[in-house]
Structure 1
Amino acid sequence: MVLPFRFAVNMLAPGSGEEWRTRCRRAEELGYDLILVADHLGMPAPFPSLVAAAAVTTRPRLGTFVLNSGFYNPALLAREVATTAALTDGRLELGLGTGYVAAEHDQAGIPFLPAGARVDHLAGVIEELEKEPTAGVPLLIGGNGDRVLRLAARHARVAAFSGGRFDGATATVLTAEELAARVETYAGFEKEAGRAVPAERNLLLQRVKVTDDRAAAVAEFQPAVPYLTEEQILDLPILAMGTAREIADQLIGLRERLGFSYVTVLDPAMEEFGPVIAELRTREPAPETVPGA
């Protein structure tokens, strides 16, 4: 089943109230379907930021991308979610993950649990959120490990794939083949779960470069991935480099091959990605509903 594209911008940079409101209005003008907020120390706090975004926009849905579930007591988080969903007039979509930055836990004075225990905690958070009054809030679950993907297959409206891995100290990207294997594994988990409606699939684009010189863009990115060839870099799903039309074609291909219909960019790329949204909107209209809702 081919779903319509949805485009999101993940807001990372703090700012004054007026700066925040201006950026959110601009995201709506550019055609983004969702305004998202990350959950890292030093970045905007998710829930008040989303309430503020709701006050100055009308069309985009609003979400977390993604909450570090290890930061939260499940019952108290459920209260935050229920209140935010009400104050955003039902536009909230909740993104959840296990958390992966040990230094942030140290800074916050919250134990950084082993990987298995972090997944256990995430499962407990999901269980709490599936109770009233938060049961109707669409869940996005992000990660690449088998246990997290199984949780997504059973509970999520959206399964989010990061396209990378983090070992606690360094990050490496997944090649096109590795990401395809993760998606295939996830599809198997959905079959095991007996889902009637598949989850929407999300991909985070780590870098966007609208240019007619793709070779130069690859050369600029090469130092970040010295273990990849130029051909492998061009094939990375998490990179969008080329003209707006070329990037649009790339995203259509990714949707056909791997089912990625929900695409997120980071806020430094918000303006640059705008022409890609416009190009794709000439080929198909914006979605009117939340898939699976």
Structure 2
Amino acid sequence: MMVSGSRSDWVDKCRKAEDLGYDVIGVADHLGMPAPFPAIVSAAEATERVRLCPFVLNTSFYNPVLLARDAAGTDQLVEGRLELGLGTGYVKAEFDAAGLPFPGPRERLDHLEHTLGELRRLFADGQPRPAQEPHPPLLLGGHRDRMLRIAAREADIVGFTGIGFDRDGTSATVAGPEELAERVEFVRAEAGERFADLELNLLIQHAEVTDDRMAALDGIRAYAPDRSVEELAGLPIVLVGTAEQIAEQLLAQRKTYGISYVTVLEAHLDALGPVIPLLR
């Protein structure tokens, strides 16, 4: 979710998410938004049950030693409710705004791998140590081969974006069901025996509860202009229909892909509320 407005607005938003039945509150890491770790600590103070996740940190902006300190300290303050989401950063404009060079994909992924190694070492040896042993669950996600290969090897939670971005993060292509299936199988092959212990996450791009599914889908055709309404209806990252239809879609995706953890954007927080009880 985006931290905006006053502290009371943020607190109310977090309590609402917990009351609706969400299990995790995610906080984005983008310039122009408040820093994720302070927002997570504030969210923990306002809630009792939900887990809390930076979704996801741009590790290219972080020194691994300082990141380990901040993550371990945050996990202590939220009493072991932290999930640590890590990515490489993909928006060139944000690097420009920070006055930092924008490395190519290989360099950003190299830094992510270095960061993962340092985090594991520092969590074991450093102070403060995380509340969770040996460390908070690691969420790594993406779409392309090398990122998913790293996630298959290192993550506790593998996130699928369902979208592939270009080099500068300015345009994207949407993955259909066949491509998502292929990406999941790629992770399965790379993870080997540890695949059974992985949790799979999918980032939902649009969620809308409606009695007129086809009309609602027609209204979002600009989201994927190269797709027909029927094709939009089949996209795993689009949830449109009655609460019962959406629940049926999510349960089918759990059976087909093994995805048990879905993330929705803040704009769709209310939309998925009536669906959650149908998934329990």
TM-score (norm 1): 0.89
What is the deviation of 1:258? 0.4
Unaligned stretches of 5+ in structure 2?
Answer: none
CA RMSD of aligned residues (A): 1.2
Matched with 1:290 is none
In the TM superposition, 1:108-257 aligns within 5 A as 108-131=98-121, 132=124, 133-134=129-130, 135-167=134-166, 168=168, 169-191=170-192, 194-195=193-194, 197-257=196-256
Contact 1:211/1:242, CA 8 A, preserved across alignment: yes
* 2:51 is the counterpart of 1:61: yes
C-alpha distance in structure 2 between counterparts of 1:228 and 1:270, whole Å: 25
Matched with 2:29 is 39
Q: What secondary structure sits across from 2:22 in the alignment?
A: coil
Contact 2:3/2:39, CA 8 A, preserved across alignment: no
Q: What secondary structure sits across from 1:275 in the alignment?
A: coil
C-alpha distance in structure 2 between counterparts of 1:119 and 1:199, whole Å: 21
Matched with 1:285 is none
Higher relative contact order (CA 8 A, sep 6+): 1
Aligned length: 269
C-alpha distance in structure 1 between counterparts of 2:142 and 2:209, whole Å: 28
What is the deviation of 1:12? 2.0
* 2:22 is the counterpart of 1:29: no
Contact 1:37/1:44, CA 8 A, preserved across alignment: no
Q: What secondary structure sits across from 1:264 in the alignment?
A: strand
What is the deviation of 1:150? 1.4
What is the deviation of 1:171? 1.5
What is the deviation of 1:129? 1.4
Contact 2:152/2:195, CA 8 A, preserved across alignment: no
* 2:93 is the counterpart of 1:92: no
Matched with 1:71 is 61
C-alpha distance in structure 2 between counterparts of 1:250 and 1:128, whole Å: 39
C-alpha distance in structure 2 between counterparts of 1:83 and 1:270, whole Å: 28
Unaligned stretches of 5+ in structure 1?
Answer: 1-10, 282-293
Percent of aligned pairs with the same amino acid? 51
Runs of 4+ in 1 over 3 A off after TM superposition: none
What is the deviation of 1:151? 1.2
Deviation by residue 1:161-181 (Cα, 9 ceiling, x = unmatched): 000011022122111111111
- Given the alignment, which residue of 53, 56, 70 partners 1:80? 70
What is the deviation of 1:53? 0.3
Matched with 1:288 is none
The verdict on how the C-alpha distance between 1:124 and 1:187 changes in structure 2, with shifts beyond 3 A counting, is: same
C-alpha distance in structure 2 between counterparts of 1:202 and 1:196, whole Å: 13
